[in-house]
Structure 1
Amino acid sequence: MNTIPLDYETLRLIWWLLLGVLLIGFAVMDGYDLGVGALLPFVACNDDERRVLINLLGPTWEGNQVWLVLGGGAIFAAWPALYAASFSGFYLAMITVLLALILRPVAFKFRGKIKDSRWRAIWDWALFIGGFVPALIFGVAVGNVLLGVPFNLDATLRPSYAGNFFGLLRPFALVSGLLSVAMLVTHGAVIIAARTEGTVSMRARVYGRYAAIASIVLFALAGLWVSFGMDGYVVTSTQDHFGPSNPLGKMVTTGTGAWLANYSAHPWMIIAPALGLLGSLVAYIGLKGDAWKTSLLGSTLAIVGIISTAGLSLFPFLLPSSLNPNASLTVWDASSSHLTLFVMLLATIVFLPLIIAYTAWVYRVMRGTVTATSIGRNPNAY
């Protein structure tokens, strides 16, 4: 007798939503760290200014990466087939991201060890790499998912990948990567403008406005490309939303503009791309008028809208296969067991509010403007 109070279909849908929440949480929380890192060599022009930006990130960046760990853990536990296919296929890309992220704590620790301009410049550029490269590759990965990933499943559901690292750098994927960079640079510029003073804040507003415009243009370009320039995927057979996971038990076809099918069936979904465009515009207006609350709201809404647009366009697909469309992974055939999803949901109900609560507390404690003077008063400053 099944004693689980939620049916299998509902749990699969909940975990698809939670995966989106975790990805958005990472982009909002750790995304500004990546954006600030990517802006560091350009917004800050001397050692004092760069120390201001480094100490802006220093107290919170480690906690922000919890969202990345949660996202990876959710994929591993809730969607094991997705984890196996994507992490093996994107292995070199993920290693590149990992190495770039490792540069960040190393740069924080080593930059101030020697008072030499060349030494510190090396670590400043390491922080730039640690911000720019992950932002770019995460966007490239999403672009490749929309294009379809060259993997297949054998009779025992073992994935095999037929691509390579440079094969990921397709034109649409690069546009997606640049959109990701522009989106996170806008978010980082908003935080710099809000929490610093003087020329650093002014430069951040300028770069942030450029990045917000780039976000609008690139997002619109990507939307046109998805609509008219690339094939999407459609499940043509009936899928059992309550049955065991078996990605090979369905039929899938491709067609130009197929990723728009969900918007035709559910017109309310147009809210997501509208938020992406409107949020970037609001961020631009806020940065132009030095209204940091407005710009922060705008950059956050832009992240929510852009990521939600990708997720809603793909649904129910998690990882389409360009080699064998029938092997594509969907929400209904790539999940863990019914019991596993339910136990994980119980753990999430307990721990996710705790993570949100301590994050909110840390940001409240660390609020305020970071200046060269405040750093000088802090013996623990970087």
Structure 2
Amino acid sequence: MAEFFAFLLSYETLRVIWWLFIGILLIGFAITDGFDLGVGTLLPFLGRNDEERRVIINVVGPTWEGNQVWFILGGGAVFAAWPPVYATAFSGFFIALILTLFAMILRPVGFDYRSKLPDPRWRNFWDWGLFVGGAVPALVFGVAFGNLLRGVPFHFDADLRAYYTGGFFGLLNPFGLLAGVVSLSMLVMHGAVYLQLRTEGEIQQRARQMVALAVKVFVGAFALAGLWLLIGVDGYRLDSFAGVAAPSNPLAKTVVRDGGAWLAQYGQHPWMLLAPLAGFGGAALVWLFSQRQQPGRGFIASSLVLAGVILTAGFSLFPFIMPSSSDPNSSLMVWDATSSHLTLKWMFGVTVVFLPIVLAYTTWVFSKLRGTVTVAQVRAADKVMY
């Protein structure tokens, strides 16, 4: 037993564990807050009048703030476990992150202010604000992952100071935008199947139609992105490095760019193919369950899609976290971008205690707030619903 704990708490093991933890937090954020973003994106299109839009808002209104916990945990985990990644990403993606932040600010303001006045113009303005607050983050998150796979133009000097040499519009390259379409269509699908689960009547039928459309767009974009990675995007391959237990030093390695390297992992470890298969297979199940009016199962399948896509990106990049296109040797990876061994151990202990609490709380909240939201409920509880 002592040998097991010694292995579990070793530096090299904790580095991989924190890669897994952050992946779990990303998946948790995508599944819980992802349907919020998808519902916000769909609000102006699936709600044809004020009462229908209030129904849609009240589907996510009671839970969206709690779902933000996963986003906060993910950002805090990156800051504590991978400080060079956090610092470099905020330098390189600063404008994109500020744009995302401003868009997400529209969500709490929209939820709280929309029904303060009965003026249709006022309410329509905030409806489109909620659309922006859902669509822009969903798109930008995908664009960010697309640029990670292309490589980010940054490098370190001899004193390990990071320099970003790109610009905001450089992030809006064709592959990055395609990855954004993958993310946006995936979350729209997730939000639509959740609306199908939580609503009735015409809203439910429109959500069902949107599920079918979003599935088609997602499958096409995801397949095209995989093909593009195979033939049009150079991957990164680790040639030599200081070792899995060496102190974090991003410059103590040699990295080469190699066409198709991102997909080489799947040849070496065929079990990783389960991730993209979950993306494609889960999407087929979402469509099937949605058409059969089984949105509960469809939501589970949609969650599988989100996990599959995030794991596909993680498996493809591993062991890299943030590759550098301007100086491949400056690329940040699992073995040289982490905090100290002591920091990772303390964080591991805290996570083991509090992550199950977050999972239990989230499960309890959704078990209490299950059921459909209807126009009749909105009318009857006008003073206490959004």
Fold similarity call, TM over 0.5: yes
Secondary structure class of the residue paired with 1:221:
helix
TM-score normalised by L of structure 2: 0.97
Structure 1 residue 3: Cα displacement: 8.0
Mapping of 1:259-278 within 5 angstroms? 259-278=262-281
State whether structure 2 residue 21 is matched by structure 1 residue 18: yes
State whether structure 2 residue 139 is matched by structure 1 residue 131: no
State whether structure 2 residue 80 is matched by structure 1 residue 77: yes
- In the other structure, the counterpart of 2:234 is 231
Structure 1 residue 4: Cα displacement: 9.0
State the alpha-carbon separation in 2 of the partners of residues 229 and 69 from structure 1.
34
Mapping of 1:321-360 within 5 angstroms? 321-360=324-363
- In the other structure, the counterpart of 1:317 is 320
- In the other structure, the counterpart of 1:302 is 305
Secondary structure class of the residue paired with 1:59:
coil
Alpha-carbon contact 2:51-2:378 (below 8 Å) kept: no
State the alpha-carbon separation in 2 of the partners of residues 173 and 330 from structure 1.
21
Partner amino acid for 1:133?
A: V
- In the other structure, the counterpart of 1:210 is 213
Alpha-carbon contact 2:8-2:14 (below 8 Å) kept: no
Secondary structure class of the residue paired with 1:143:
helix
- In the other structure, the counterpart of 1:381 is 385
Structure 1 residue 373: Cα displacement: 1.4
Q: Which moved more, 1:196-205 or 1:367-376?
A: 367-376
Query: Mind listing any 5+ residue stretches in structure 2 that lack a counterpart?
Result: none
State the alpha-carbon separation in 1 of the partners of residues 232 and 191 from structure 2.
31
| 1:234-277 deviation digits (Å, cap 9, x = unpaired) | 00114410010000000000011010121111111000000000
Alpha-carbon contact 1:213-1:281 (below 8 Å) kept: no
Alpha-carbon contact 2:249-2:336 (below 8 Å) kept: yes
State the alpha-carbon separation in 2 of the partners of residues 245 and 377 from structure 1.
60
Structure 1 residue 158: Cα displacement: 1.2
Partner amino acid for 1:319?
A: M
Structure 1 residue 219: Cα displacement: 0.6
Partner amino acid for 1:380?
A: V
State the alpha-carbon separation in 1 of the partners of residues 306 and 43 from structure 2.
21
Alpha-carbon contact 2:25-2:74 (below 8 Å) kept: yes
**How has the CA–CA distance of structure 1 residues 3 and 268 changed in structure 2, closer, same or farther, with 3 Å as cutoff?**
closer
Which of residues 176, 199, 204 in structure 1 aligns to 2:202?
199
Structure 1 residue 293: Cα displacement: 2.1
State the alpha-carbon separation in 2 of the partners of residues 118 and 6 from structure 1.
58
State the alpha-carbon separation in 2 of the partners of residues 316 and 213 from structure 1.
31
- In the other structure, the counterpart of 1:365 is 368
* Aligned-CA RMSD value: 1.2
How many residues of Structure 1 are paired with residues of Structure 2 in the alignment? 381
| 1:163-221 deviation digits (Å, cap 9, x = unpaired) | 11111000000000001000000000011001100000000110111001111111100
Mapping of 1:1-40 within 5 angstroms? 6-40=9-43
State the alpha-carbon separation in 1 of the partners of residues 163 and 36 from structure 2.
34
Structure 1 residue 376: Cα displacement: 2.8
**How has the CA–CA distance of structure 1 residues 268 and 239 changed in structure 2, closer, same or farther, with 3 Å as cutoff?**
farther
- In the other structure, the counterpart of 1:61 is 64
Seq. identity, %: 55
Partner amino acid for 1:86?
A: A
Q: Which moved more, 1:285-294 or 1:182-191?
A: 285-294
State whether structure 2 residue 165 is matched by structure 1 residue 182: no
Secondary structure class of the residue paired with 2:256:
strand
- In the other structure, the counterpart of 1:96 is 99
Alpha-carbon contact 2:276-2:308 (below 8 Å) kept: yes
Secondary structure class of the residue paired with 2:258:
strand
Q: Which moved more, 1:215-224 or 1:368-377?
A: 368-377
Structure 1 residue 294: Cα displacement: 2.4
**How has the CA–CA distance of structure 1 residues 288 and 239 changed in structure 2, closer, same or farther, with 3 Å as cutoff?**
farther
Structure 1 residue 319: Cα displacement: 0.2
Query: Mind listing any 5+ residue stretches in structure 1 that lack a counterpart?
Result: none
- In the other structure, the counterpart of 1:157 is 160
State the alpha-carbon separation in 2 of the partners of residues 339 and 234 from structure 1.
29
State the alpha-carbon separation in 2 of the partners of residues 171 and 4 from structure 1.
43
Which of residues 249, 253, 256 in structure 2 aligns to 1:250?
253
State the alpha-carbon separation in 2 of the partners of residues 134 and 29 from structure 1.
14
State the alpha-carbon separation in 2 of the partners of residues 376 and 117 from structure 1.
17
Structure 1 residue 5: Cα displacement: 6.1
Partner amino acid for 1:117?
A: P
